Amino acid sequence: MKRILLLALPIALMTACNNAPSAAEGDAAPAKAPTAAAAAPIDGKLLGANHWVLDAATDSSGKRIDALFVRADKPVTLDFADGRLSVDNACNHMGGGYTLAGNEMTVSRMASTMMACNDQALMALDQAVGSRLEGTLKIDQLDASTLKLTSATGDVLTFRGEPTAETRYGGPGETVFLEVDSRTKPCSHPLIRNMQCLQVREVHYDDKGLEQGKRGEFYNFYDSIEGYAHEDGVRNVLRVKRYEVKNPPADASSRAYVLDMVVGSEVVKK
């Protein structure tokens, strides 16, 4: 029996092959199912090259989401760096991890600082932002000027790109700490009459955050600090990024300073 079965199998196969229609007889080959085109991968470097300022937001019916625009002077802004998404200009600073796959971004559950805001609409802004960014978002557009995201519920958020300082100055800056005195003082400038200069001095910390050495004397600071608004009577310690400016104009500084954060503040009585 074993021999007969072994011989019968190839005969059956040969018979089936001989009876099968051939392409030469004019029979068309079975059509293959169409495959969907793979989404182009998102350029993560482009995400990190800009601050993304919220310009427009609509729900699935096309209605403007007013709850996201309670700070007309300070729109909600996103920053992407090292796999982290940061949200500024809500009530609290918010942040969470993110990953990219194809044309989708997945944002983890976001954490925030716990500062209370007096305005109820501003307090609600944290929830309004977080609920729309957490989870999986479709990236409908990403270029140097526009980032468009669509949430799972159909909300569409459109952001305007503003180059980061690293992009503008061509590389990472040096982190320095500056103490800014509570009062400005008159200082001489060949192009600006009656100029008032910030009074600053550097502060040095070790990698554990402990101050090192003795602070020097305050000196006239002729540059500006992008993002910093001085308030008379308040002394601040600032963490700033200092950049070298390539080919500055003859009457401009070769360094640029950008505020990173206010480390500490103190009201000083006259």
Segment 156-180, tens digit of pLDDT = 999 999 999 999 999 989 999 999 9
What's the pLDDT score for residue 244?
Answer: 94
Distance of alpha carbon 55 from alpha carbon 35, whole angstroms: 36
Predicted confidence band at 2 (pLDDT cuts at 50, 70, 90)? Answer: very low
**CA-to-CA distance for 166 and 188, rounded, in angstroms?**
31
Decide if pLDDT at 7 tops 70.
no
The whole-number average pLDDT for the span 206-229 is: 94
Average pLDDT over residues 134-151: 96
| 225-226 vs 255-267, strand pairing mode | parallel
Burial 224-258 (b: 16+ CB within 10 A, else e): ebeebebeeeebbbbebbbbeeeeeeeeeeeebbb
What pairs with residue 84 in β-bridges?
Answer: 81, 97
| Phi, psi of 5, deg, nearest 5 | -65, -40
Using only C-alpha atoms, what is the Rg of the chain?
A: 31
CA separation, residue 268 to residues 117, 236, 265 (Å): 25, 10, 10
pLDDT in tens, 192-214: 888 999 999 999 999 998 999 99
3-state SS, residue 9: helix
**Dihedral of the alpha carbons of 51, 55, 59, 62, in degrees to the nearest 10:** -150
Quick one: average pLDDT of 119-143? 94
Instruction: Report whether pLDDT(47) > 80.
Output: yes
Tens digits of per-residue pLDDT, 14-30?
Answer: 334 444 444 444 455 55
Name the residue among 263, 243, 252, 247 with its Cα closest to residue 203.
Answer: 263
- Quote the percentage of the chain above a pLDDT of 70: 85
CA gap 197, 269 in Å, rounded = 20
Q: Tell the residue number behind the tokens 């989708």, with chain if given.
A: 104
